[in-house]
Structure 1
Amino acid sequence: MRLGIKEIEQILPHRHPFLLVDYIEEMEPGVSAVGYKCVTFHEDFFRGHFPQEPVMPGVLTVEALAQVGAVAILSLEENKGKTAYFGGINKCRFKGKIVPGDKVKLETKIVKRKGPMGVGEATAYVDGKVVVKAELTFMVG
């Protein structure tokens, strides 16, 4: 199931410039989602991070992973119209840079859920190589 920007905007409250997912390639509601961010030189953050060597900020990659996970969790019927908030970021490791021209694969699997709280295992890839891994805790509210 492919979701474009219009479908993603029906699930997430985020909008440009903070919507960091271009499309969802596959999704199983409440279980997992795989999305992509196509990084261009025109991203607002490259003006200051860093002008001489543009690199996507790691925290924005973590946010993009969280947004992909939020698409999965907010696609459940009982969560439609709600917002998923960060509860924590654990075991986060940055293993590579994301630069203009990269197509970032964002994969988040929901591994634990209890009431409105949950945990997702999230991994970002560029050209098949892991660039970010993290465990993201969320709360649906």
Structure 2
Amino acid sequence: MHELQAAEIQRLIPNRFPICYIDQVTELVPDQRITAVKNVTINEDFLQGYFPGQPEMPGTLIIETLAQAASILILKSPQFAHKTAYIGSIRQATFHKRVLPGAALRLEVELVKVKANMGVVATRALVADELVCTAELHFVVQATAG
């Protein structure tokens, strides 16, 4: 189990500003689970025009943030080192509460199944220990272009 900071996160996933949403990995057990954090600030580009006067993080970006955490978990697994993970499908996405500026969005991802270069993760997003989103993500891993 270990933590990752921004520099190591950026070595793993191709996402960069303004679409890199993972600020920190607080727990990582390769081939099992990851816990990561996204700090939602009022300065986020996506909050400027989304529900003016009542800013909240869009559900699609909560799913993207969960997918980025899942990518880190997948790419830290020995069989997928130096590859890229892509979302194949999103299943059973449910949104329970709004995510507002000032929130520390905690992302929990558990590896459920892997077969060859495909797999499934179960995800949860929480704010202050309250569930805001759950989803099952299916992924495909391919060799990194280089």
TM range (shorter): over 0.9
Map of 1:91-106 to 2, 5 A cutoff? 91-106=92-107
Write the letter of the residue equivalent to 2:70.
G
- Larger deviation, residues 13-22 vs 71-80: 71-80
Give 1:69 shift.
Answer: 1.0
Amino acid at match of 2:93: C
Any conservation in 2 of the 1:68–1:106 contact (CA below 8 Å)?
Answer: yes
Using the alignment, how far apart are the partners of 1:19 and 1:75 within structure 2?
Answer: 17
SS in 1 for 2:83: coil
The aligned residue for residue 141 of structure 2 is 140
Q: Which amino acid aligns with 1:127?
A: A
Matched position secondary structure for 1:8: helix
Q: Calculate the TM-score normalised by the size of structure 2.
A: 0.94
TM-score, normalising length: structure 1:
0.97
> How many residues end up aligned between the 2 structures?
141
Describe the SS at the equivalent of 2:132: strand
After superposition, the C-alpha distances for 1:51-79 in whole angstroms (9 at most, x for unaligned) are 21101000100111111111111012332
Distance 1:76 1:106 in 2: 18
In structure 1, how many angstroms separate the alpha carbons of the residues matched to 2:67 and 2:48? 24
Residue 112 of structure 1 pairs with residue 108 of structure 2: no
Deviations 1:19-52 (A, max 9, x none): 1110000001122110000000000001111221
Unmatched runs of 5 consecutive residues or more in structure 2:
none
Q: 1:97 is paired with a residue of what secondary structure?
A: coil
- C-alpha distance in structure 1 between counterparts of 2:89 and 2:52, whole Å: 30
Could you say what the CA RMSD is over the residues aligned between the two structures, in angstroms?
0.8
Letter in 2 for 1:114: K
Matched, 1:77 2:74: no
Q: Which amino acid aligns with 1:51?
A: P
Q: Percent identity?
A: 38
Q: Letter of the aligned partner of 1:14 in structure 2?
A: N
Q: Distance in 2 between matches of 1:84 and 1:115?
A: 13
Number of the residue aligned with 1:29:
30
What stretches of structure 1 move > 2 A for 4+ residues in a row?
A: none
Q: Secondary structure at the match of 1:83?
A: strand
C-alpha distance in structure 1 between counterparts of 2:82 and 2:44, whole Å: 28
Contact 1:30–1:74 (CA under 8 A) maintained in structure 2: no
